[in-house]
Amino acid sequence: MLYIKILRSPYAHALIEEIDTSEAERVPGVKLVLTYKNTPRNIHTTAGQGWPEPSPYDTFMFDYKVRFVGDKVAAVAAESEEIAQKALKLIKVRYRKLQAVLAAVDALKEDAPVIHEEPEIKGAYNPSKNLAAHIDVKIGDVQKGFEESDVVMERTYETQYVQQTPIEPHVAISYLDEYGRIVIRTSTQVPFHVRRIVAMMLGIPVSKVRVIKPRIGGGFGTKQEIVVEGICAFVTLKTGRPARLLYTREEEFVSSTTRHPMKITMKLGAKKDGALHAISMYVLSNTGAYGSHALTVASNAGSKSLPLYNRAPHVEFVADVVYTNLPVSGAFRGYGAPQAYAAVEQAIDEMSYEVGLSPVEFRKKNHIVTGETSPIFRALGEGREGVTQYIRSCALDELIEKGMKEIGWDAKFGKHIRNKSKVRGVGMAILMQGSSIPLIDMGAATLKLNEDGSFNLLYGGTDLGTGLDTISAQIVAETLGVKPEQVIVYASDTDLTPFDVGAYASSGTIISGGAVLNAALKIKEQILDVAREMLEELDAGSLVLEDGCVKSLATGRSVTLSEIAHHSLYVSNLHQIIASGSMVSPYSPPPFAAHFAEVEVDEDTGVVTPVKYVAALDCGTAINPILIKGQIMGAVAQGIGFALTEEFIFDDTGRVANAGFMNYKIPSVRDMPEIVPIIVETYEPAGVYGSKAVAEINMNGPLPTIANAIYDAVGIRIQKSPFTPEKVLKALRAKAGKVTK
């Protein structure tokens, strides 16, 4: 096996005027050195999304221009990592430094340097103005709506660069099979998208590439990116040798992907009675050096938040997504919604005080309910027009009531409970998300019956620690009357399993699971047909499939699944009982949540300590309550990090100064408050067995919930996250009229 190491750019923006790899190539054990000079110049996107990808094509395997500190310059494939690392140091590069854009607001200035001027670029909105994407959606007449409002309020909020930090960094192994095809084993959320994009990068047919996703150590969106696979596969293609490319933790921070930082301006108009009348939302999103997920994440910021407050007849959503010379932004759990709710739910809280209603009353008066819709659903999809949705299951009021009771809202809200320098407060937020991308996401599954009554399930869904393989086995077991352990699950192999878009958009259960259900329903009919022949039963309606047997309600006779399998394979009308099913949904039924937090603010130090966190969730039918509670708690933990501690710190050259766990603080178990997950079941007609999504929605809540609790405790609003002690102290001193530097 060859080991690959990447030479990274030390500059945020520069042209490579000369690159000399000759000395590196002479190092014993070095087999290949790659640069823009000897690799395919096939423009592509690294975003693992359905074809045609809505993200701009603005990336090459290697380019003669670098666009952020950490961008790819060259790669060495050698007999060991140590040899490869030694050779990297011998590559001589002469750069011509260019002026860099290190802030999103600077990218739109008239004299801003152009980051992408390559003639091959496709799909970017206006690269000459550093605009990767632009969105402009209007419902009603927003200006008129504000004029008609009794109370108008405008606020701006800003979220920061954060990284997904999966346990396992990006890693891939590639090799040639006995037919000369490239096989890639990779830590990915999107094996079928990897296959398509790697084939595009290398300029070879899709049929020459096989992608296998083994058990992996998490993803959270950053593995929805084709980051390491193309280079790894190209090394194998050129050398005939197996190859391995593993990112260091520093590379994972800087050179994979991050969450899009956003600056969001909310303008709300309301009537005297508290009814929202007009909403304007402007998003300035920083996609970094390349436009991965640029359009779709920004779209999601509006489409997943604005329909929650559907009573306002006048709504405007505008977004500019800009290129900068900073690390690449991409997919991250919540996919634009956490940034949006950071703004929306703080603005809603602030408006509740303006109109004289409690935060609870104001939300109850204005949130969407069962039977209603929002024009935003149709106007704003993920990068294209959406689909009209009507809410058919929503337990928001019950979620609010249960959350209030658990947190002790009535006894704590507005009470400013003090213990010396420490003051406690409570805050809340309500949330919605989606379950898949309607009429775009598709998954498929194949199921077959074995002689002993077990089943082989082959499906394209991607379990990255979410429990999707377990859920899929449960769906088969529930449908066919067997135990989950009788279902042998094999997933995510582009040669052997049917197509699936992959693990994103909270689509696992509704799309992958829906395909599994459809396959199981088809195979059930085949099983009953054979059983009817064996039992000499004319009335198919009298047969039931349960406990591993088909029973006749008319005669009481039964046959086991094992006997049915033997009959079909060896006795009569010989055939394999097997079926395939696909799933694409015209609906994206939203899960709903109500979050409540109690925090303690130390006025002497500025430290904010979450004391208790309550997350009440309506996810339809709870197929696996233990997995659901794990998903809730994991999302809340990530959200607390987003709210309080996590952020990239850049120096004035655009270099990330804290690319490691020593200086980038993710919460540990010691930092966690008491987390109380509450599941309120509804039945969603569009879901599998009445279920809705779980994985992303609870990431959206902690930042605004904690922000609102800080305000309840000490009366300060911090418009830019995270809420570090320094920012809290500065705001407290400003409130007290003290001068701060």
- Listing DSSP states for 664-723 in one string gives S----GGG--EEEEEE-----TTSGGGB---TTGGGSSHHHHHHHHHHHHH-----BSS-
Q: Which residues contact 115 (CB under 8 A, 6 or more apart)?
A: 13, 67, 101, 107, 127, 130, 289, 323, 324, 325
72, 116, 257 from 248: Cα distances, Å: 14, 28, 14
Same structural domain for residues 220 and 84?
Answer: yes
Q: Which residues of 303-313 are buried (b: 16+ CB within 10 A; e: fewer)?
A: bbbbbbbbebb
Alpha carbon dihedral 513, 514, 515, 521, in 10-degree steps, equals 110
Same structural domain for residues 420 and 472?
Answer: no
Distance (Å, whole) CA 575 – CA 605 = 73
Distance (Å, whole) CA 607 – CA 723 = 9
Return the structure tokens found at 304: 């997943």
Strand order of the β-sheet with 543-546 is 543-546, 549-552, 558-560
Task: Using alpha carbons, select from 149, 165, 383 the residue that is nearest to residue 275.
Answer: 149
pLDDT tens track for 699-723: 999 999 999 999 999 999 999 999 9
114, 158, 495 from 289: Cα distances, Å: 11, 20, 34
Residue 70 lies in a domain: yes
Torsion-angle region of residue 459: left (phi > 0), alpha (psi -120 to 50) or beta?
Answer: beta
Distance (Å, whole) CA 48 – CA 107 = 26
Same structural domain for residues 284 and 386?
Answer: yes
Residue 449 lies in a domain: yes
Residue 144 lies in a domain: no
Instruction: Please state the pTM of the whole predicted model.
Output: 0.96
Distance (Å, whole) CA 411 – CA 414 = 9
Same structural domain for residues 329 and 234?
Answer: no
> What is residue 386's predicted lDDT score, i.e. its pLDDT?
86
> What is residue 740's predicted lDDT score, i.e. its pLDDT?
52
pLDDT tens track for 187-217: 999 999 999 999 999 999 999 999 999 999 9
The 8-class DSSP code of residue 208 comes to G
| CATH assignment of the domain containing 182 | 3.90.1170.50
Residue-number span of the structural domain to which 454 is assigned: 443-583
Same structural domain for residues 387 and 315?
Answer: yes
Q: Are 506 and 658 in contact (CB under 8 A)?
A: no
Instruction: Provide the number of structural domains found in the chain.
Output: 3
Which 3 state secondary structure label does DSSP give 371? coil
Task: Using alpha carbons, select from 68, 72, 90 the residue that is nearest to residue 14.
Answer: 68
Number of neighbouring beta carbons within 10 Å of residue 411? 9
Q: Are 160 and 154 in contact (CB under 8 A)?
A: no
306, 587, 687 from 368: Cα distances, Å: 10, 17, 19
Residue 637 lies in a domain: yes
> What is residue 49's predicted lDDT score, i.e. its pLDDT?
95
| CATH assignment of the domain containing 460 | 3.30.365.10
Q: Are 579 and 480 in contact (CB under 8 A)?
A: no
> What is residue 739's predicted lDDT score, i.e. its pLDDT?
57
Which 3 state secondary structure label does DSSP give 259? strand
Residue 112 lies in a domain: no
Distance (Å, whole) CA 719 – CA 155 = 8
Same structural domain for residues 418 and 545?
Answer: no
Same structural domain for residues 457 and 552?
Answer: yes
Place of tokens 């969001």: 264
Return the structure tokens found at 308: 């929650």
> What is residue 384's predicted lDDT score, i.e. its pLDDT?
76
> What is residue 63's predicted lDDT score, i.e. its pLDDT?
98
Residue 333 lies in a domain: yes
pLDDT tens track for 128-170: 999 999 999 999 999 999 999 999 999 999 999 999 999 999 9
Q: Are 49 and 296 in contact (CB under 8 A)?
A: yes
Distance (Å, whole) CA 244 – CA 186 = 10
Same structural domain for residues 501 and 572?
Answer: yes
Which 3 state secondary structure label does DSSP give 160? coil
Same structural domain for residues 40 and 184?
Answer: yes
Q: Which residues contact 265 (CB under 8 A, 6 or more apart)?
A: 154, 155, 156, 280, 281, 282, 343
Same structural domain for residues 199 and 284?
Answer: no
Same structural domain for residues 610 and 725?
Answer: yes
Residue 52, preceding peptide bond in cis (omega within 30° of 0): yes
Handedness of CA 118, 123, 124, 127 (dihedral sign): positive
| Positions in the chain short of pLDDT 50 | 741
Q: Are 291 and 124 in contact (CB under 8 A)?
A: yes
Residue 74 lies in a domain: yes
Task: Using alpha carbons, select from 446, 555, 690 the residue that is nearest to residue 544.
Answer: 555
Alpha carbon dihedral 124, 118, 194, 254, in 10-degree steps, equals -90
Q: Which residues contact 644 (CB under 8 A, 6 or more apart)?
A: 608, 610, 667, 706, 722, 723, 724
Q: Are 431 and 697 in contact (CB under 8 A)?
A: yes
> Which of 246, 270, 289 represents a domain boundary (last residue)?
246
Largest separation between any pair of C-alpha atoms in the chain: 91
Q: How many degrees, rounded to 5, is the angle at CA 564 between CA 558 and CA 568?
A: 150
> What is residue 738's predicted lDDT score, i.e. its pLDDT?
73
Handedness of CA 366, 370, 372, 374 (dihedral sign): positive
> Which of 583, 605, 633 represents a domain boundary (last residue)?
583
> Which of 221, 246, 271 represents a domain boundary (last residue)?
246
Query: Beta 329-330 vs 92-97: how paired, if at all?
Result: unpaired
Residue 251 lies in a domain: no
Same structural domain for residues 418 and 455?
Answer: no
